[in-house]
Structure 1
Amino acid sequence: MARPKKQQQRRADLVRAAARAIAVRGVAGLTVRDVAAQAEMSPGAVSYYYRELDELVLAVHADAVRRFYGVRREAIDAIDDPAEQLAELVRLGVPTGADDLVCRVLYELHVHGARSAPHAALMSSLWEQEVSLYELVLTRGVERGTFGLRGTPRRVAETVVALEDAVGLHVVGHNPGVTPARALELVAGLVELEVGRAGVPS
């Protein structure tokens, strides 16, 4: 019974190693040797657990989507007040810096969706999950009389997520004019305009 569990752990370790390799090398030109170096394993060992590099890269993308959404979902589930939920969604939607591993991987692999239907499906899935989280919180805030939206919860949610994606790209792309703090300020400002109150606590 121990062997399947060990294999599962090795595969999870390889997903994390491949994520680090993608953050360093990008997807184009990524090799099994790059992943092996990050995992401190032989290339043959990597291929034992993932026969095709594309399979491993897809697993990295799926893991990053789960992680990014899961953190935000757990955060709002632990909060009851819609205003505090909204502030937390905004805070967690912006990369912490250019070295934010999950966000770097997501941007690298979302672009890969232009050449791969499975990667495009993961990108679309994350978009829908993020929008749905905002829509849930905004709808709850309207029902409780906390928010007065300029548009429908869905439209506001889509607009905010689109801006998150835009500023996040500049953060991980080392644009000195869009620091994490500035990115957060821009998203919070949009939320304030759309919702009628600040999107992050003072």
Structure 2
Amino acid sequence: MARPRNQTARREQLVHAATEAVGRRGLAQLRVADIAEVAGVARGSVNYYFSDLGDLLRQVYRQAADRFYTSRTDTASRLPDARDKLVACARLGLPAGPDDELALVLYEFSAAARDESEYATLAQSLYDRQVAMYGSILEIGRAQGHFRFTEPIPDVAANLVTLEDGYGLHIVGRNSSLPPERALALILASARQATNCPDLRPDRVVPEPESTGPDAAAQHTPEGTA
């Protein structure tokens, strides 16, 4: 891994290395030495740029949360039609594949939430924000005349987020019966029923999100849905 020339770049390099290390070893077994090895630096460099391992891991989680919340809301904000907003967000809410590092990070933190109250708080916050994101899209769709509901919008939004989480776990678990494109189709089938809108289909043409790095396109587009 090339050595960055400034402190911001070095911190970003270490966050990326920590993300990769979590995917390799899992959160429970992770050591500072593992991150240093991936980054190609001395262990002391990690301790220099981050006060402790927890500080670094919070940055890792923030990066993953930005991918699955901030990036999605930014994409939705550029789409005037609520149907496009919902399809785009459902597409971007799934792991790109079993080796999707940022998705793996979120599942590792969720698994650790049982024993770490801080991780539980982070996971709940992300869940609540994603439910609110979908709730806003559903409200817009109703106002535009596209969506009609027989159940409360918060319940529909919560189901969409929970479906993403469940299907995503199968994807990163290498379940060959449930690749990303199949998971997307199933989520949208549920959305069609909940909204009484037949237009929520994977083949709706929507813009891709703005790139946030060299690997952004690969990370944001589930296989088979480009």
TM-score (norm 1): 0.92
What does residue 118 of structure 1 align with? 118
Query: Residues 11-56 of structure 1: CA distance to partner in whole angstroms, max 9, x if unpaired?
Result: 2221111001001111121111110111111111111112422221
Give the Cα–Cα distance (whole angstroms) in 2 for the partners of residues 10 and 118 of structure 1. Answer: 26
Query: Residues 82-102 of structure 1: CA distance to partner in whole angstroms, max 9, x if unpaired?
Result: 111111111111111001121
Given residue 111 of structure 2, which amino acid in structure 1 is its aligned partner? V
Give the Cα–Cα distance (whole angstroms) in 2 for the partners of residues 24 and 33 of structure 1. Answer: 13
Deviates more, 1:123-132 or 1:55-64: 55-64
SS in 2 for 1:20: helix
What does residue 92 of structure 2 align with? 92
Give the Cα–Cα distance (whole angstroms) in 2 for the partners of residues 46 and 122 of structure 1. Answer: 23
Give the Cα–Cα distance (whole angstroms) in 2 for the partners of residues 104 and 24 of structure 1. Answer: 9
Given residue 162 of structure 1, which amino acid in structure 2 is its aligned partner? T
- The equivalences for 1:88-167 within 5 A come to 88-167=88-167
Given residue 175 of structure 1, which amino acid in structure 2 is its aligned partner? N
Given residue 122 of structure 2, which amino acid in structure 1 is its aligned partner? L
* Native 8 Å contact 2:184 2:202 kept in 1: no
What does residue 174 of structure 1 align with? 174
What does residue 199 of structure 1 align with? 200
Unmatched 5+ residue regions in structure 1?
none
Unmatched 5+ residue regions in structure 2?
204-226
* Native 8 Å contact 1:90 1:199 kept in 2: no
Query: Residues 177-198 of structure 1: CA distance to partner in whole angstroms, max 9, x if unpaired?
Result: 2111111111111111111124
SS in 2 for 1:115: coil
SS in 2 for 1:119: helix
What does residue 9 of structure 2 align with? 9
* Native 8 Å contact 1:91 1:200 kept in 2: no
RMSD of aligned residue pairs (Cα, Å): 1.5
Give the deviation of 1:108 after TM superposition. 0.8
Q: How many residues are paired up?
A: 198
Give the Cα–Cα distance (whole angstroms) in 1 for the partners of residues 79 and 31 of structure 2. Answer: 43
Give the deviation of 1:201 after TM superposition. 4.2
Give the Cα–Cα distance (whole angstroms) in 2 for the partners of residues 199 and 17 of structure 1. Answer: 37
Give the deviation of 1:7 after TM superposition. 2.4
Give the Cα–Cα distance (whole angstroms) in 2 for the partners of residues 80 and 33 of structure 1. Answer: 47
Deviates more, 1:192-201 or 1:114-123: 192-201
What does residue 49 of structure 2 align with? 49
* Native 8 Å contact 1:86 1:134 kept in 2: yes
* Native 8 Å contact 1:93 1:164 kept in 2: yes
Give the Cα–Cα distance (whole angstroms) in 1 for the partners of residues 150 and 22 of structure 2. Answer: 40
Query: Residues 53-81 of structure 1: CA distance to partner in whole angstroms, max 9, x if unpaired?
Result: 22212221122112221210111011001
